[in-house]
């Protein structure tokens, strides 16, 4: 590779080092963005006529209170970070008042609660019947319908198992509550227009409008592969359709921020208090609660698909109709495509085999991975998951897995990994940055991470990347691919990988 091209990757950091050293003060652009955020989420009135600094500072303080940050009233780094976290698009304006009512009712006892319920319950509304129907109007093309229906059913059950409500699925309209996926602006106001991946993930309306909307530009998931857990977000939005406001309690499902499933119950005491304030306890008295982990996967598609593909010798492998977690290619030109706990192999001639369990070829790997790469330098496979990394050459090497995020400053949960010939190193991609990694030591090379802008036109949050036999580097995200020319350092083509790249073994697949 010519020196001039290497310069873009290696020498520019020196120039940037000086520029980046100045202390960041909120730029006007960041300030405007914060104002828009605070207005959208109900902390500031209309910002059209300009706002006074005191007003702004008060709004920031309120936001900090709800978000459990220190109450500086300033746009400090942790506040800006919090504003950029994925969340629900419903505003937080009444969340404090609604929470205070719940607490007062709890402390003052049932009589006061009844009085209050009369006084306040009209504000967010409630249903005047206990039997409600729901309908899933559409869903992302890459999720099996059966899986979506099971997850939505379980999400409604979370609420019916702790209250007097009962839900039925309706397969056609009318239904009391409708769940719909939309892209961008979808005719319920510019404030409600979806914003692409991240940011607002979904929103819903209070009773008795019965509508919950989900951002179709998110990558949704119902098993443990990458993406936003749809079950959690559906359960949260259902809460709004039943009349619940956001909760300032951090562990609450109705907290505005996106949460992962863990070993705790999905609903917190505050969620249960809120729903029972509106609809009372279950008729049988006690509530039924299960740990979040149990909802981490719905109906193991892999078993189903595995059986069917094996039986029919079906060439249209499951990964063709879905997203994958990671991809790499070895020296012989065999592709490895990873999804969930499985991988497929596509030979240079286009023969597809799989799905096979990750652990059959790479014993010791976790149940899913974030990123994978094969190094042309040493002929070894590298895997990344969370903050850990694994090296196989061909069996798991001594000392692995390692905690690479702490020993080598590697990013946690990398989006994609690639062996990049011109740099003779592994490259990890994470959000807007990339990291050049020494595969001997797992240390990030000096002057990295750097901005993804170096990779002219490559999108952030790729699922995987590889250098194909044709010499181009291919990046994959969801159903799209980007073909990167390592000489021009520029994306030279893009499109949909399943129908357009025959070497991925998906040409026999009907795209629907
Ligand atoms: C609701 O309760 C039923 C009956 O106890 C149980 O089978 C089901 O798994 C529970 N669902 C959820 C989502 O907790
Ligand atoms: C692909 O599989 C078919 C059938 O198993 C076999 O005949 C063919 O030789 C294979 N091609 C390659 C390139 O491995
Ligand atoms: Zn919400
Ligand atoms: Zn909407």
Cis peptide before 401 (omega within 30 of 0): yes
Chain segment 118-170, per-residue pLDDT in tens: 544 446 789 999 999 999 999 998 888 888 999 999 999 999 999 999 999 99
Which CATH code, of 3.40.50.300, 3.50.40.10, 3.40.390.10, 3.40.980.10, is assigned to 95-295?
3.40.390.10
pLDDT of 1 reads 38
Cβ atoms within 10 Å of 490's Cβ, excluding its own: 13
Could you tell me the distance, in angstroms and rounded to a whole number, from the CA of residue 236 to the centre of ligand 4? 15
Distance, CA 282 to ligand 4 centroid (Å)?
31
Please choose, from the candidates 495, 486, 494, 482, the residue with its C-alpha nearest in 3D space to the C-alpha of residue 454: 486
Tokens matching residue 122: 């009209």
C-alpha distance across the termini of the chain, in Å: 42
Does the beta carbon of 423 sit less than 6 angstroms from any atom of ligand 1? no
Q: Is 384 helix (H, G, I), strand (E, B) or coil?
A: strand
In this predicted model, what pLDDT tens digit does every residue of 407-447 receive, in sequence order? 888 999 999 999 999 999 999 999 999 999 998 899 999 99
Residues lining ligand 2, Cβ inside 6 A: 347, 349, 351
Q: Residue 349 CA: which ligand 2 atom is closest?
A: 13
**Pairing verdict, β 220-221 and 228-229:** parallel
Give me the residue label for tokens 């209309």.
46
Q: Which atom of ligand 2 is least distant from the CA of 351?
A: 1
Q: Per the annotation, does 413 bind a ligand?
A: no
Which two three-digit tokens encode residue 183? 């892209």
| Whole-number Å distance between alpha carbons of 177 and 19 | 53
Q: Which of 253, 272, 246, 239 is nearest to 93 (CA)?
A: 246
Q: Is 92 annotated as a binding residue?
A: no
Q: Quick check: is 33 catalytic?
A: no
Which atom of ligand 1 has the smallest separation from the CA of 158? Answer: 13
Q: What is the pLDDT at residue 258?
A: 93
* Å from CA of 304 to ligand 1 middle: 24
- Ligand with minimal distance to 505 CA: 2
Say which ligand is closest to the CA of 240: 3
The residues near 47 (Cβ < 8 Å, ≥ 6 apart) are 35, 36, 39
The answer to whether the pTM exceeds 0.75 is no
Report how far residue 418's alpha carbon sits from residue 465's, in angstroms, rounded to the nearest whole number: 6
Which position has the token pair 């990671």?
A: 326
Query: Looking at 39, 62, 101, 237, which residue is catalytic?
Result: 237
Residue found under tokens 């990344």: 384
Distance 204 CA to ligand 3 centre (A): 7
Phi, psi of 428 (to 5 degrees): -110, 140
Alpha-carbon distance of 378 to 419, in angstroms, equals 11
479: left (phi over 0), alpha (psi -120 to 50) or beta: alpha
CATH number of 316-504: 2.110.10.10
d(CA 242, CA 101): 17
Q: What is the pLDDT along the chain (512 residues), one digit of tens a residue?
A: 333 334 444 433 333 333 333 334 456 678 889 999 999 999 998 766 778 889 999 999 999 998 999 999 999 999 999 999 999 999 998 888 888 888 888 777 655 555 555 544 446 789 999 999 999 999 998 888 888 999 999 999 999 999 999 999 998 889 999 999 999 999 998 889 999 888 999 999 999 999 999 999 998 998 766 789 999 999 999 999 999 999 999 999 999 999 888 888 999 999 999 999 999 999 887 888 888 888 887 755 444 544 554 444 444 567 887 788 999 999 999 999 998 888 999 998 878 888 888 989 999 999 889 999 999 999 999 999 999 999 999 999 999 999 998 888 899 999 999 999 999 999 999 999 999 999 889 999 999 999 999 999 999 999 999 999 999 999 999 889 999 999 999 999 999 998 899 999 887 544 43
Which residues, by Cβ under 5 Å, contact ligand 3, an ion?
88, 90
The long-range contacts involving 66-72, CB below 8 angstroms and separated by at least 24 positions, are 66/92, 66/95, 66/96, 66/246, 66/248, 66/256, 67/257, 68/250
CB 192 within 8 A of CB 213: yes
Domain boundary assignment for the chain: 95-295, 316-504
Is 468 annotated as a binding-site member?
no
Full DSSP string of 157-215: HHHHTTSS-EEEE-SSS--SEEEEEE-S--SS-GGG---SSSSEEEEE--TTS-EEEEE
Sign of the alpha-carbon torsion through 171, 177, 180, 186: positive
| Nearest ligand 1 atom, CA 295 | 13
Considering only CA atoms, which residue is closest to atom 4 of ligand 1?
288
Residue of 149, 166, 290 with the most ligand 1 atoms within 8 Å of its CB, for mutation: 290
Residue 201 Cα to ligand 3 midpoint, Å, equals 9
* Ligand (nearest to CA of 238): 3
Ligand in nearest proximity to the CA of 237? 3
- Alpha helix segments (H runs only) across 445-502: 497-500
Query: If you take atom 6 of ligand 2, which residue's CA is the nearest one?
Result: 351
**95-295 matches 316-504 in fold:** no
Question: Can you give the length of the chain in residues?
Answer: 512
Does 218 show up as a binding residue in the annotation?
Answer: yes
The reply to whether 155 sits in an annotated binding site is no
């Amino acid at each position: 590779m010519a020196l001039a091209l290497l310069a873009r990757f290696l020498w520019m950091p020196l120039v940037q080092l000086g520029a980046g050293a100045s202390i960041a003060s909120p730029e006007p652009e960041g300030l405007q963005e914060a104002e828009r955020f605070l207005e959208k989420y109900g902390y500031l009135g209309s910002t059209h006529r300009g706002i006074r600094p005191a007003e702004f500072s008060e709004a920031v303080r309120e936001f900090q209170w709800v978000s459990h940050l220190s109450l500086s009233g300033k746009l400090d780094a942790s506040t800006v970070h919090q504003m950029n976290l994925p969340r629900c698009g419903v505003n937080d304006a009444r969340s404090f008042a609604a929470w205070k009512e719940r607490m007062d009712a709890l402390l003052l006892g049932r009589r006061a609660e009844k009085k209050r319920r009369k006084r306040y319950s009209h504000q967010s509304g409630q249903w005047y019947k206990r039997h409600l129907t729901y309908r899933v109007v559409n869903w992302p093309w890459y999720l099996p319908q059966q899986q979506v229906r099971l997850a939505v059913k379980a999400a409604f059950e979370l609420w019916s198992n702790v209250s007097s409500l009962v839900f039925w699925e309706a397969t056609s309209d009318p239904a009391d509550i409708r769940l719909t996926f939309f892209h961008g602006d979808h005719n319920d106001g510019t404030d409600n227009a979806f914003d692409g991946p991240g940011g607002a993930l979904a929103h819903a309306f209070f009773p008795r409008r019965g509508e919950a909307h989900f951002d179709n530009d998110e990558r949704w998931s119902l098993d443990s592969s990458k993406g936003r857990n749809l079950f959690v977000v559906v359960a949260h939005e259902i809460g709004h359709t039943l009349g619940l406001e956001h909760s300032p309690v951090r562990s609450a499902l109705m907290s505005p921020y996106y949460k992962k499933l863990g070993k705790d119950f999905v609903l917190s005491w505050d969620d249960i208090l809120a729903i029972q304030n509106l609809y009372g306890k279950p008729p049988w008295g006690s509530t039924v609660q299960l740990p979040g982990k149990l909802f981490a996967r719905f109906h193991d598609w892999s078993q189903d698909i595995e059986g069917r593909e094996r039986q029919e010798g079906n060439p249209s492998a499951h990964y063709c109709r879905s997203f994958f977690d990671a991809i790499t290619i070895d020296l012989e030109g065999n592709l490895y495509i990873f999804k969930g706990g499985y991988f497929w192999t596509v030979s240079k001639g286009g023969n597809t085999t799989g799905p096979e369990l990750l652990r059959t070829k790479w014993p010791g790997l976790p149940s899913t991975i974030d990123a994978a790469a094969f190094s042309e330098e040493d002929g070894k496979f590298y895997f990344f998951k969370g903050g850990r990394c694994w090296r196989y050459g061909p069996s798991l090497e001594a000392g692995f897995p390692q905690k690479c995020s702490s020993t080598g400053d590697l990013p946690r949960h990398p989006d994609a990994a690639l062996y990049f010939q011109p740099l003779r190193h592994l490259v990890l991609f994470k959000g807007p940055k990339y990291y050049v990694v020494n595969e001997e030591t797992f240390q990030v090379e000096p002057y990295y991470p750097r901005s993804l802008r170096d990779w002219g036109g490559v999108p952030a949050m790729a699922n995987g990347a590889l250098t194909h036999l044709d010499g181009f580097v291919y990046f994959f995200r969801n159903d799209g691919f980007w073909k990167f020319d390592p000489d021009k350092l520029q994306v030279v083509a893009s499109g949909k990988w399943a129908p357009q790249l025959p070497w991925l073994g998906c040409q026999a697949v009907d795209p629907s």
